[in-house]
């Protein structure tokens, strides 16, 4: 992989953005620190005086063009993506460079697919939305498990988080999504996303040892439902989240994630299990790791490297499972960032 090339990181000073910057540096890329808030950007940039800093409001095309100048790709870490994705993609189209983001906002991902699939193809660039823990990982696991099946009767994805202290960005994105849905929930059935009202039903999910049986909230639809349904044929996608994580996420005045080691990762652990069913047959994929926000960094940077190196041959908008060889991609993250298996 060619090193020392510049990659623009929009929202570089945010919680996830900092992990992305660190991962780029670890892999010998040169981050360009970009963001909307000049004061926050300057404070973060003081920790990296060797790196360029470029302030750019998302509603200022000229500033965005300057932010991307000299970059071979842009990684958007600045939520809510309902506000930032489209203008940064527009800037990437003008610069003719790949765009990737870490959006977990379902509506923002749907907007990106709807608005830019044709334009990205015509503009000759690759756009990969939702290249994060939510959106990217589940899609890769489902794609790896699908293998030679042409379709599945049902895909279930269960998130086994032992805790979930949300960042300010997560909370803001959640507010934006709730406003767009008018308080309704999204569920995937009969081959499409549908609105549902009322509380999501409780259930139980038995994860492999040592996690075991856990209370979960079902119909907890995340960005993986968008990415999986984009290219895997199934009429039903069911999602489950551990109740402990939901309680953390919805509790008032929760603290932000706190570092538990020198890398800045929190002590949070995760297990994600994907189960595909076709008639009486069943296939599974399982992944485990630590800190969903920190894990997003190697996921999106690995994707960026593969795009920049030409491993995605056709321009357009692609999800993780569409764009990459799922098994090879997951193996590339092992064992440092992820443990995974399929069977």
Residue 189 belongs to a domain: yes
- Residue 153: which of 273, 93, 67, 236 has the closest Cα? 236
In the predicted model, is pLDDT for residue 171 greater than 80? yes
Burial 85-105 (b: 16+ CB within 10 A, else e): bbbbbbbbbebebbbbbbbbb
Residue 279 belongs to a domain: yes
Q: Do residue 140 and residue 263 come from a single domain?
A: yes
Domain count, the chain: 2
In the predicted model, is pLDDT for residue 301 greater than 60? yes
Grade residue 343 by pLDDT with cuts at 50, 70 and 90: confident
Residue 87 belongs to a domain: yes
pLDDT of residue 271: 98
Q: Could you say which of 294, 310, 327 is where a domain stops?
A: 294
Q: Do residue 85 and residue 156 come from a single domain?
A: no
Residue for token digits 């009767």? Answer: 153
In the predicted model, is pLDDT for residue 1 greater than 70? no
Q: What is the CATH number of the domain that holds 60?
A: 3.40.50.720
- Tell me the pLDDT tens digit for each residue of 26-77: 999 999 999 999 999 999 999 999 999 999 999 999 999 999 999 999 999 9
Which two tokens mark 261? 């080691």
Q: What is the CATH number of the domain that holds 163?
A: 3.30.360.10
Residue 237 belongs to a domain: yes
Q: Do residue 154 and residue 272 come from a single domain?
A: yes
Q: Do residue 250 and residue 195 come from a single domain?
A: yes
Q: Do residue 288 and residue 302 come from a single domain?
A: no
Residue 343 belongs to a domain: no
pLDDT of residue 29: 98
Range of the domain at 310: 6-131+296-338
In the predicted model, is pLDDT for residue 254 greater than 90? no
In the predicted model, is pLDDT for residue 94 greater than 60? yes
Q: Where are the extended beta strands (E) located within the chain?
A: 6-10, 30-35, 53-55, 74-76, 99-101, 126-128, 154-161, 185-189, 192-196, 202-206, 213-218, 237-242, 269-278, 281-290, 316-317, 339-342
Q: Do residue 152 and residue 287 come from a single domain?
A: yes
- Tell me the pLDDT tens digit for each residue of 178-232: 899 998 999 999 999 999 999 999 999 999 999 999 999 999 999 999 999 999 9
In the predicted model, is pLDDT for residue 4 greater than 90? no
Report the pLDDT averaged over residues 275-299.
Answer: 98
Q: Do residue 66 and residue 110 come from a single domain?
A: yes
Report the pLDDT averaged over residues 163-188.
Answer: 93
Q: Do residue 168 and residue 282 come from a single domain?
A: yes
Q: Do residue 65 and residue 125 come from a single domain?
A: yes
How far is the C-alpha of 321 from the C-alpha of 327, rounded, in Å?
A: 10
Residue 307 belongs to a domain: yes
Residue 16 belongs to a domain: yes
Share of the chain above pLDDT 70, in %: 99
Q: Do residue 107 and residue 214 come from a single domain?
A: no
Q: Which residues contact 30 (CB under 8 A, 6 or more apart)?
A: 4, 5, 6, 7, 24, 51
Q: Do residue 72 and residue 214 come from a single domain?
A: no
How far is the C-alpha of 294 from the C-alpha of 104, rounded, in Å?
A: 14
Report the pLDDT averaged over residues 98-107.
Answer: 97
Q: Do residue 174 and residue 273 come from a single domain?
A: yes
Ramachandran class of 158: left when φ > 0, alpha when ψ lies in -120 to 50, beta otherwise: beta
Residue 98 belongs to a domain: yes
Contact between 108 and 115 (Cβ < 8 Å):
no
């Amino acid at each position: 992989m060619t090193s020392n090339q510049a990659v623009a990181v929009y929202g570089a000073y945010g919680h996830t953005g900092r992990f992305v910057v660190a991962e780029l540096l670890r892999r010998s890329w040169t981050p360009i620190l970009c963001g909307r808030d000049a004061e926050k950007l300057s404070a973060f940039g003081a920790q990296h005086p060797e790196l360029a800093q470029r302030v750019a409001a998302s509603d200022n095309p000229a500033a965005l063009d300057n932010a991307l100048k000299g970059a071979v790709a842009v990684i958007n870490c600045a939520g809510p993506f309902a506000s930032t994705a489209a203008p940064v993609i527009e800037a990437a189209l003008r610069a003719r460079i790949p765009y990737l983001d870490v959006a977990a906002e379902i509506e923002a991902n749907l907007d990106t697919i709807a608005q830019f699939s044709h334009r990205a193809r015509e503009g000759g660039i690759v756009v990969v939305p939702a290249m994060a823990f939510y959106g990217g990982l589940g899609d890769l696991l489902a794609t790896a498990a699908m293998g030679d099946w042409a379709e599945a009767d049902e895909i279930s994805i269960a998130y086994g988080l032992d805790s979930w202290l949300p960042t300010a960005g997560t909370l803001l994105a959640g507010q934006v999504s709730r406003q767009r849905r008018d308080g309704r929930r999204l569920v995937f059935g009969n081959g499409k996303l549908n609105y549902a009202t009322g509380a999501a039903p409780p259930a139980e999910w038995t994860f492999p040892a040592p996690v075991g049986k856990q209370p979960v909230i079902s119909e907890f639809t995340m960005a993986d439902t968008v990415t999986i349904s984009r290219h895997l044929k199934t009429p039903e996608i069911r999602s489950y989240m551990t109740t402990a994580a939901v309680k953390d996420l919805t509790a008032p005045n929760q603290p932000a994630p706190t570092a538990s080691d020198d890398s800045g990762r929190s002590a949070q652990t995760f297990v994600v299990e994907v189960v595909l069913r076709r008639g009486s047959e069943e296939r599974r994929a399982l992944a485990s790791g630590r800190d969903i926000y920190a894990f997003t960094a190697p996921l999106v940077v690995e994707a960026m490297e593969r795009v920049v190196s030409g491993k995605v041959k056709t321009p357009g908008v692609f999800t993780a499972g569409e764009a990459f060889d799922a098994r090879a991609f997951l193996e590339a993250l092992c064992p440092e960032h992820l443990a995974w298996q399929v069977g």
